[in-house]
Structure 1
């Protein structure tokens, strides 16, 4: 069993990513495949634009916020990125959070929960796959895509339909399988 980190990518005031992330975290806790679930809100973590002088593959961090981020990501086995689509792409805060580190991401599975308008964040999800492959993460095929996001927000809470709920379970099931397959690679590193 594994430790799951759910990263809420949006940092905008009034964002809907946080209620989605909270719902995803609740669903993950109900799922039988994870020892623990940690919600990581990039809006609260507040990483500055990458400010480390050394390449992250060296792990020679000088700033406390980077050391803390490294420790957080290192202790987790798999991830879910809850991400908006901005102008046909993923948002800068998520890219920045990934770029801070390198080895900490390696051989970890990631599920993508994307949201937006008619495209449901799918263009952002496709674009981020190049980035996560570069840090040796493995995206699972099963994903959660949420179109026309305002219809799912009621009184500040995310209220999914059956399609979202079923796709979330399928994503978690696959995360558990892929995490188990990647574990020997992490242990050998």
Structure 2
């Protein structure tokens, strides 16, 4: 069984990202249908062990033995141990994040910084959202994941969702009101899943 983890990059309780995550999960589920080979695991930023907060564990993740992290017990913090176990179970990671002030959320960086060996070699893709689609934060975050954590970027096409004005400065939120604007992104998300499945097969054979 291969596992696609979908990480909600926003820690806001009244934002649009949770609704976008639910929509992507529904698109993936529609395409996968009753697949017995792939499952979707939503990594909710508001559900334990997230949010992790700043890195406080006395054992730096890059210095802990990889062998000790197979069960996550190499860390002092129980929350970090749980996060290690979850990340170690993934075959692929999709990060869905908003763009804040031309960058990605700081709390999202914390979620990555708590671990190192568990991320190394994990294939990933980044989906972004924002008034201008979030392309700047995707570039920045990809640099962190590839150069810093040695993860494997997979080309799935630019999934950059442009939020209408009322979903940014107004009270409308994806998942609470009709979000017909998402219809134009169905194909790019469906195509991204095809590339994700192919990437998992490729990395699985390597």
Q: TM-score range by the shorter chain?
A: 0.7 to 0.9
User: Which runs of structure 2 are paired with 1:94-109 in the superposition (5 Å)?
Assistant: 94-109=108-123
Can you list the C-alpha shifts for 1:68-127, whole angstroms capped at 9, x where unaligned?
00001111110111101011011111111111111111222212110011x211100010
**What TM-score do the two structures reach when normalised by structure 2?**
0.81
Aligned partner of 2:189 among 141, 161, 168: 168
Bigger fraction of residues in helix: 1
Q: Could you list the per-position Cα deviations for residues 32-87 of structure 1 after superposition, in whole angstroms to 9, with x for gaps in the alignment?
A: 37611011111222212111112213143100000000001111110111101011
Unpaired stretches in structure 2, ≥5 consecutive residues: none
The alignment partner of 2:40 has SS state of strand
Report what 2:159 is aligned to: 144
Identify the residue that residue 43 of structure 2 maps to in structure 1.
Answer: 40
Task: Report the equivalent of 2:93.
Answer: 79
| Contiguous gaps of at least 5 residues in structure 1 | none
The Cα offsets for residues 8-51 of structure 1, whole Å up to 9 and x where unpaired, read as 01011311111111111122222237611011111222212111
* Counterparts of 1:157 and 1:43, CA distance in 2: 24
TM-score (norm 1): 0.88
After alignment, is 26-35 or 78-87 more displaced? 26-35
| Partners of 1:68 and 1:85 in 2: CA distance | 27
1:71/1:158 Cα in 2 relative to 1: closer, same or farther (>3 Å)? farther
25-34 vs 80-89, greater mean Cα deviation: 25-34
Check if 1:179 corresponds to 2:182: no
Larger radius of gyration: 2
Higher strand share: 1
| Alpha-carbon contact 1:19-1:158 (below 8 Å) kept | no
